Each structure stands twice: as structure tokens, then as C-alpha cells.
Amino acid sequence: MPNSITPCLWFDTEAEEAAKFYCSVFKNSRFTLVSHYSDAGPRPKGSVMMVAFELDGRPFTALNGGPQYKFTEAISLQITCDSQEEVDHYWDRLTADGGSENVCGWLKDKYGLSWQVAPRNLIEYMTGRDLEKAKRVAEAMFKMKKIDIATIERAAQG
């Protein structure tokens, strides 16, 4: 059996809240386990220690480990979208209530976790063999925060 890789997201005390939020954003998502600290500590007995959940069928873990670690842009989660409607949905939901926009389809949610909301065609154009098309698409993308698929398509066509 192959090994399983599950991202573990470190929070101070917001693991359960964040997991509920993420499950509300992505279809086919659910909690699979919630565990609590015992009297062995180091957090208060009965407080949420870890939440296992799935986002669109992919496993994640959220841990209430304390305030010493914060998310950085050194890692992000990429969402590949097939339509502008999907881009808008994820962008709007993940930047709501304190999230922030960045350039080229990057954002931070209200917990500080970085995401890339990337249309599938953008990825295909940027990694394709047509280097002139890739350059035009990149130049268009560098001017955007949330990616606009129609603008990317126009750039791809020249």
C-alpha cells in the first residue's frame, strides 16, 4: 500500500473553526475526526487538539498547537478552476472576513493560509510549448490579482 500524505495545518486555537470554514467553501467536504486534549496537556483538558477533515475528498489535519507558528507564503494550496464562476466562488469566499488579495491569483484567507486560485487554462498556457503565448499570458496575469479568464484567453490568442 502506498504512503499517504496529509497536510497538517497548525493553528493556535482556531483549528475547528478553520476546518468548518474550509468545509463550507469546498464541495464534497466533511469532518472525519475531532480529538481533544487530555489532562496530559499541554493545552487545557477537553479543548480541541486536532481536527481531521476532507476538502473535496482530500484529507487534511488541523492542529491547535499554540501561537508559536504562523502560516507564510512559503507554502500555498492551489485550487485549479474550470470556469470564471469557480474562480469567483473560491476567491470571494477565501478573501471574505479578513482575507487579503495578492497578485497573480494568490490570496490569504482570514487565518493567514495562502492559496492560489488558478484557472486550468492559465496553467496550460503557462506550461505549454508556445513560448510567445506563455509570455503574453504571463504579462496579462502579472497585471491581475484575481485571474480573469476572458483576459487570459485574449492574451493567449494574441
CATH code for the part of the protein at 76-157: 3.10.180.10
In one letter, which amino acid is 125? Answer: Y
Spatial CA neighbour of 57 closest among 80, 19, 34, 30: 30
pLDDT for res 41: 83
Whether the pLDDT of residue 49 is over 80: the answer is yes
Region at 61 (left for phi over 0; alpha for psi -120 to 50; beta for the rest): beta
Sign of CA dihedral 33, 73, 88, 11: positive
**61 phi and psi angles, rounded to 5 deg:** -130, 140
The contacts of residue 154 (CB under 8 Å, 6+ apart) are 140
Domain ranges for the chain: 8-64, 76-157
CATH fold of the domain at 8-64: 3.30.720
Mean pLDDT score of the chain:
95
| pLDDT for res 29 | 97
pLDDT digits (tens, 9 = 90+) for 78-124: 999 999 999 999 999 999 999 999 999 999 999 999 999 999 999 99
CA distance 149 to 87: 9
Quote the pTM value: 0.92
Q: What is the 3-state secondary structure (H, E, C) of the chain?
A: CCCCCCCEEEECCCHHHHHHHHHHHCCCCEEEEEEECCCCCCCCCCCEEEEEEEECCEEEEEEECCCCCCCCCCCEEEEEECCHHHHHHHHHHHHHHHCEECCCCEEECCCCCEEEEEEHHHHHHHHCCCHHHHHHHHHHHCCCCCCCHHHHHHHHHC
- Other Cβ atoms less than 10 A from the Cβ of 85: the count is 10
